[in-house]
């Protein structure tokens, strides 16, 4: 854990204690990547603190609010979702430059990987419920944020200028392909992959709606298929998606990874090789060597 993550944890603990929560001085770290997630034991409470995401999403509280709003809506529909905290005001809270939200702790099997069939079924159910979501959402914001990410990535030295030029051009091309399809849109999860489904005693629960947006369901399907690994063919088949329609969204997801991973690598040295490898693979696959 680096200094940024340590300071993020201290900020979350300070907010929780100011709100009257009694908790250990050493929370259980659940994740340290895009955000810090920590179980504030012994309370059934998880703090989510924007860290790496806050480097490129400003103000970070805006995305944490989106996450909370979507989860509250789904919980109210009795949909299987990790719910915001009922123990403390869920936030977002601001402390020492960090945006923080609080969530119910969901005991889960961290080694469990949902099957393609489970994921496809739950994603269909999620899309059906989300059609009734009344909140405002931006159009495909996880994709259309990329030019801004590139600006910040160049400024922090994460991506070379010549690579940024190439990635911007690809973004423009993919955006045109998506626009040309003129597909209907609806509220989406925005980052609908297997790791955002938790296996709990209550069953599989959805989590992490920071990237929620409006757009064609092909975006969520591409998120699902892209992260399916060796099961990609089965994932595509389970979606019953038109390959011509989903292809630009798969390319968009590839591009997103090519930009996001170098940003992550500015904080986590062990991600640098994978970031370079991803960009090289992307260049090779798109003929931009």
State the pTM of this model: 0.94
Q: Considering the chain, tell me which residue range(s) the CATH 3.90.1200.10 domain(s) occupy.
A: 116-286
- Over residues 250-274, the pLDDT tens digits come to 999 999 999 999 999 999 999 999 9
CB 128 within 8 A of CB 122: no
- Over residues 24-81, the pLDDT tens digits come to 888 999 999 999 999 999 999 999 999 999 999 999 999 999 999 999 999 999 999 9
Greatest Cα pair distance, the chain, in angstroms, is: 57
Residue 289, pLDDT score: 59
The answer on pLDDT for 88 being more than 70 is: yes
User: Can you tell me the distance from the alpha carbon of 134 to that of 7, in angstroms, rounded to the nearest whole number?
Assistant: 36
| Sheet containing strand 98-104, strands side by side | 28-32, 35-39, 45-50, 98-104, 93-95
Fold of 116-286: Aminoglycoside 3'-phosphotransferase; Chain: A, domain 2 (3.90.1200)
Residue 230, pLDDT score: 67
Evaluated on CA atoms 42, 46, 52, 55, the torsion sign reads negative
CB atoms near residue 234 (< 10 Å): 15
Fold of 3-104: Phosphorylase Kinase; domain 1 (3.30.200)
Q: How large is the angle between the packed helices 243-265 and 146-155, nearest 10 degrees? A: 20
- Over residues 145-172, the pLDDT tens digits come to 999 999 999 999 999 999 999 999 999 9
- Over residues 179-218, the pLDDT tens digits come to 999 999 999 999 999 999 999 999 999 999 999 999 999 9
- Over residues 218-227, the pLDDT tens digits come to 999 999 998 8
CA nearest to 236, candidates 254, 218, 262, 210: 218
User: Can you tell me the distance from the alpha carbon of 166 to that of 284, in angstroms, rounded to the nearest whole number?
Assistant: 13
Q: Considering the chain, tell me which residue range(s) the CATH 3.30.200.20 domain(s) occupy.
A: 3-104
């Amino acid at each position: 854990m680096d200094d940024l993550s340590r300071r993020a944890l201290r900020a979350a603990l300070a907010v929780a204690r100011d709100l009257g929560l009694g908790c250990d001085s050493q929370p259980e770290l659940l994740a340290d990547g895009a955000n810090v997630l920590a179980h504030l034991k012994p309370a059934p409470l998880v703090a989510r603190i924007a860290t790496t995401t806050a480097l490129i999403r400003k103000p970070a509280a805006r995305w944490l609010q989106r996450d909370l709003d979507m989860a509250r809506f789904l919980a109210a529909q009795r949909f299987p979702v990790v719910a915001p905290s009922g123990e403390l005001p869920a936030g977002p809270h601001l402390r020492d430059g960090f945006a923080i939200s609080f969530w119910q702790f969901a005991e889960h099997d961290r080694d469990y990987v949902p099957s393609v069939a489970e994921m496809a079924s739950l994603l269909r159910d999620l899309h059906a419920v989300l059609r009734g979501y009344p909140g405002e959402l931006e159009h495909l914001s996880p994709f259309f944020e990329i030019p801004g990410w590139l600006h910040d990535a160049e400024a922090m030295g994460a991506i070379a200028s010549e690579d940024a030029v190439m990635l911007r051009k690809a973004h423009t091309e993919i955006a045109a392909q998506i626009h040309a399809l003129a597909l209907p849109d609806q509220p989406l999860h925005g980052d609908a992959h297997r790791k955002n489904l938790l296996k709990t005693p209550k069953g599989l629960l959805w989590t992490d709606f920071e990237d929620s947006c409006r757009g064609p369901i092909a975006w969520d399907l591409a998120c699902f298929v892209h992260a399916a690994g060796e099961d990609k063919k089965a994932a595509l088949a389970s979606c019953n998606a038109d390959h011509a329609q989903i292809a630009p969204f798969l390319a968009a997801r590839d591009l997103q990874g090519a930009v996001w991973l170098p940003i992550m690598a500015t904080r986590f040295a062990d991600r640098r090789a994978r970031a370079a490898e991803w960009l090289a693979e992307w260049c090779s696959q798109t003929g931009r060597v």
